[in-house]
């Protein structure tokens, strides 16, 4: 338990951050009110949303510190404060563990540069590296609204591994078009959906398909979308495509991906996010330190022991997540349907 002096200093620091963010929010709101340019107004709306999220996070930290100070002043500083252990809190703290390089590039594209669309290769050498978890984490970080259209196509199924026509037929059916619809008609249908909601597309197990099929999807779906989008007014919604590779094969195929955002490239080419690798000691320990206020004592009382327990899973993401859930008193498998919306 930190000393009262440290708690008060931490409270002061967060209050200063809170005031800065509040002033920033007021300024953005004033600019949004008087702005008439649609594109600028859209960017301001995104900045306002991001600022509100930061303020909410600071408010949670202030509430927690104030509770600790009150507990200390009542003479109960030797008693541990009961920390929230509900499933929603667990989900929020799990979203802060690892994948920082991937999230940094993703946010650089869709937040810093305000791109309304993007295609991303998410890859790692093994199936339990959390490719699907990361796709959900990224997609619903920016598409938090309840109004969205998701299209998930699993290329692992035998009928879709090599037959490109079957892939197009399924895609057409998932957006309520006739099965014989052409790629161009599918692109038009997607853009129509995009005008009123987020569109989140996930091609699962692309490594189980063949190189020509992925090239076809990029050339006829993604390139077609980019060309059409350039003719539309900026949308307040996101159109995102994720290609999930569970064997680390796709990056060796003769397909063009870019590994960083350059304004000249914009989003004409799909992005290759950094390769997913196992969590290391520093990653887990940093996460424990930053999330301490939200973790139960089973995880936070002895952080080094917790790191040791978690690294017994060799840093592989999904087994690590499952162990954290177990220490929390929750079953990872019971939450999969809720947490994996893509």
Is 196 inside any structural domain? yes
State the DSSP code for 270: -
Q: Are residues 132 and 216 in the same domain?
A: yes
Residue 54 burial (10 A CB sphere; 0-12, 13-18, 19+): middle
Q: Is 133 found in the same domain as 38?
A: no
Contact 254, 211 (CB under 8 A): yes
In a domain, 86, yes or no: no
User: What is the rounded CA–CA span in Å between residue 4 and residue 78?
Assistant: 12
DSSP structure class, residue 81:
P
DSSP state letters, 111-135: IIS--SEEEEEEEBSSGGG-HHHHH
Domain boundary among 81, 109, 133: 81
Same-domain check for residues 129 and 168: yes
User: Same domain for 128 and 28?
Assistant: no
Q: Tokens 């404060």 correspond to what residue?
A: 81
Which of 250, 272, 294 corresponds to the end of one domain? 272
Model confidence over 66-92: pLDDT tens digits? 777 777 766 665 555 445 568 888 998
Measured distance CA(26)–CA(22) in Å, rounded: 6
Q: Which residues of the chain have pLDDT under 50?
A: 1, 81-82
Give residues with Cβ within 8 angstroms of 219, minimum separation 6.
Answer: none
DSSP structural state of residue 258: B
Q: What is the pLDDT of residue 335?
A: 92
**Bridge partners for 204 per DSSP:** 154
- Joined tokens for residue 192: 């129509």
The CA distance from 299 to 306, in Å, is: 6
| Cα–Cα separations (whole angstroms), residue 38 to 32, 35, 44, 268 | 10, 8, 10, 23
| Residues 16 and 51 placed together within one structural domain of the fold | yes
Nearest in space to 195 (alpha carbons), one of 229, 150, 220: 229
Residue at 228 is within a domain = yes
| pLDDT number for residue 140 | 84
DSSP for 22-74 reads HHHHHHHHHHHHH---HHHHHHHHHHHHHHHHHHHHHHHHHHHHHHHHHHHHT
Which one, of 154, 6, 135, 7, lies nearest residue 69 by Cα? 7
CA quadruple 221, 224, 228, 230: dihedral sign? positive
69 located within any domain: yes
Residue 231 lies in a domain: yes
Same domain, 156 and 258: yes
152 membership: H or E segment, kind and range: strand 148-154
Within a domain: residue 259?
A: yes
Q: In this predicted structure, what is the pLDDT of residue 312? A: 95
Residue 186 inside a domain? The answer is yes
290 shares a domain with 247: no
Structural domain that includes position 232: 100-272
Domain count, the chain: 3
Q: Does residue 141 sit within a domain?
A: yes
Residues 266 and 283 in one domain: no
Among 226, 250, 272, the domain boundary falls at 272
The answer to whether residues 268 and 287 belong to one domain is no
Are 107 and 251 part of one and the same domain?
A: yes
254 and 307 part of one domain: no
The owner of tokens 């590994």 is: 259
Per-residue DSSP letter, 266: T
Query: Looking at the structure, do residues 253 and 104 belong to the same domain, yes or no?
Result: yes
């Amino acid at each position: 338990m930190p000393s009262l002096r440290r708690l008060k200093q931490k409270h002061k620091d967060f209050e200063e951050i809170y005031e800065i963010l509040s002033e920033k929010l007021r300024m953005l709101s004033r600019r949004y009110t008087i702005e008439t340019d649609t594109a600028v107004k859209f960017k301001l709306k995104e900045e306002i949303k991001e600022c509100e999220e930061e303020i909410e996070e600071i408010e949670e930290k202030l509430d927690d510190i104030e509770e600790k100070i009150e507990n200390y002043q009542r003479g109960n500083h030797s008693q541990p404060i009961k920390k929230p252990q509900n499933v929603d809190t667990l989900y929020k703290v799990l979203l802060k563990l690892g994948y920082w390089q991937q999230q940094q590039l993703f946010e650089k594209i869709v937040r810093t540069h305000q791109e309304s669309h993007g295609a991303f290769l998410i890859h790692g050498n093994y199936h339990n590296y959390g490719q699907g978890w990361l796709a959900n984490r990224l997609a619903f970080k920016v598409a938090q609204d309840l109004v969205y259209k998701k299209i998930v196509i699993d290329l692992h199924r035998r009928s879709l591994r090599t037959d490109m026509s079957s892939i197009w037929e399924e895609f057409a059916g998932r957006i309520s078009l006739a099965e014989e619809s052409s790629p161009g008609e599918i692109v038009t249908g997607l853009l129509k959906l995009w005008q009123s909601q987020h569109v989140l597309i996930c091609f699962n197990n692309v490594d189980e398909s063949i190189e020509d099929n992925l090239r076809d999807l990029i050339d006829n779906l993604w390139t077609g979308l980019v060309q059409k989008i350039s003719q539309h007014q900026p949308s307040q919604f996101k159109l995102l495509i994720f290609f999930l590779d569970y064997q680390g094969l796709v990056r060796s195929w003769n397909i063009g991906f870019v590994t960083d955002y350059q304004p000249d490239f914009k989003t004409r080419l799909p992005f290759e996010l950094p390769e997913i690798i196992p969590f290391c000691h520093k990653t887990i320990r940093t996460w424990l330190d930053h999330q301490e206020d939200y973790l139960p004592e089973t995880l936070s009382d002895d952080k080094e022991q917790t790191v040791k327990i978690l690294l017994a899973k060799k840093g592989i993401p999904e087994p690590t997540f499952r162990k954290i859930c177990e220490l929390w008193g929750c079953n990872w498998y019971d939450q999969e349907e809720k947490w994996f919306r893509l």
